[in-house]
Chains A and B, each alone.
Chain A
Amino acid sequence: MTKKSIPRLIALASAALAITGCFSLQHAPIQKIGGEHVLVSNYGWYLFHFIPLACGNTSEDRWAPWVFFRNDVRMDTLQGRFMAYANERGLETEELTFRGKESVMFEIPGINLPLPVPYLLTYREIQLSGVLVPENAKSEGVE
């Protein structure tokens, strides 16, 4: 491998990461309520708006971070992972909020020059934010 090919490989890997998809489940403890704040997100790309090309893999036993030609950018898959995490921790769920973003005019990020045909290549993203609290914590007024 030559010195010149290393930056090229990094750039290619970055581009691949940017245009495939990514699933993430982040969590952090909230000291005051003795619970956790959780944010689950996934995004992916579609051909003609409906044919899934690539997105983050939401399977629990996944072997790759991406999945091709399967639609995992769905509310039920994200909520499934959220609920599985809540069950695993033995905590109750509260304050669930979905946030979706869709872009039907494909544009090269940062250039603001969209392709003139809508629904050719579309981008979809879903985020699920929620709080996990110990059972009956709110009603008992945990501090």
Chain B
Amino acid sequence: MKRALIALAALALGGCASIRYSDEGDKHMVEIVNTGWYFLNFIPLASGNPDKPNSCSCKLLWQTANLKNNVKMLDRAIEERGAVDVINVNSNWTDESVLFILLKRHTFQTSAQLIIPTEEELRCE
């Protein structure tokens, strides 16, 4: 039981990198979120793995929740979806503290609209 609880806590503190898509109304939106945990405000514990988004993979003792990694994931999303352009790129971060400075959860979010040509447009080209 104790081991299971420790494993659960480790998983919760592991951080997570994710890429989500929404294609409602012919608008192709992408949201990239990466979270990480700090001990005593600045010692990185773990954060999501930007090389393996949407998986249970995390990087220990490393802080990957930053703009560079989010844009790297955005570039990958552009390539995966076959987008020809990207507009309305917007990023922000939020911090949440647990027990004053003991633990800090850092979340970095980036959203953008992908311009994906329709099959018709591709045929015209």
Same complex origin of A and B = yes
List residues of chain A with CB under 8 Å of any chain B CB.
10-11, 14-15, 17-18, 26-33, 37-39, 41, 95, 97, 99, 108-111, 127, 129, 131, 141, 143
CB-CB under 8 A for A110 and B92, given A14-B40, A14-B42 = no
Residues in chain A near residue B98, CB distance under 8 A: 110
The answer to whether B71 and A37 touch across the interface, beta carbons within 8 angstroms, is yes
The answer to whether A28 and B101 touch across the interface, beta carbons within 8 angstroms, is no
B86 contacts which of A27, A33, A41, A141 (Cβ < 8 Å)?
Answer: A33
User: 8 Å CB contacts to A: which residues of B68-118?
Assistant: 68, 70-72, 74-75, 78, 83-93, 96-103, 110
The answer to whether A32 and B40 touch across the interface, beta carbons within 8 angstroms, is no
The answer to whether A110 and B99 touch across the interface, beta carbons within 8 angstroms, is yes
Interchain Cβ contacts within 8 Å, total number? 82
How many angstroms between the C-alpha atoms of A143 and B41 in the bound complex? 40
How many angstroms between the C-alpha atoms of A18 and B103 in the bound complex? 11
Smallest Cβ-Cβ distance to B102: which chain A residue: A110
Residues in chain A near residue B97, CB distance under 8 A: 18, 109-110
Residues in chain A near residue B90, CB distance under 8 A: 95, 97, 129
Please tell me if B18 contacts chain A, counting CB pairs below 8 Å. Answer: no
The answer to whether B66 and A111 touch across the interface, beta carbons within 8 angstroms, is no
List residues of chain B with CB under 8 Å of any chain A CB.
40-42, 66-68, 70-72, 74-75, 78, 83-93, 96-103, 110
Residues in chain B near residue A95, CB distance under 8 A: 87-90
CB-CB under 8 A for A32 and B67, given A15-B101, A111-B100 = no
A32 contacts which of B41, B70, B86 (Cβ < 8 Å)?
Answer: B86
The answer to whether B68 and A28 touch across the interface, beta carbons within 8 angstroms, is yes
> What's the nearest-Cβ distance from chain A to residue B107, in Å?
13
Q: List 12 A-B contacts (CB under 8 A).
A: A17-B41, A18-B41, A26-B66, A28-B72, A30-B71, A31-B75, A37-B74, A37-B91, A39-B67, A97-B90, A129-B92, A143-B85
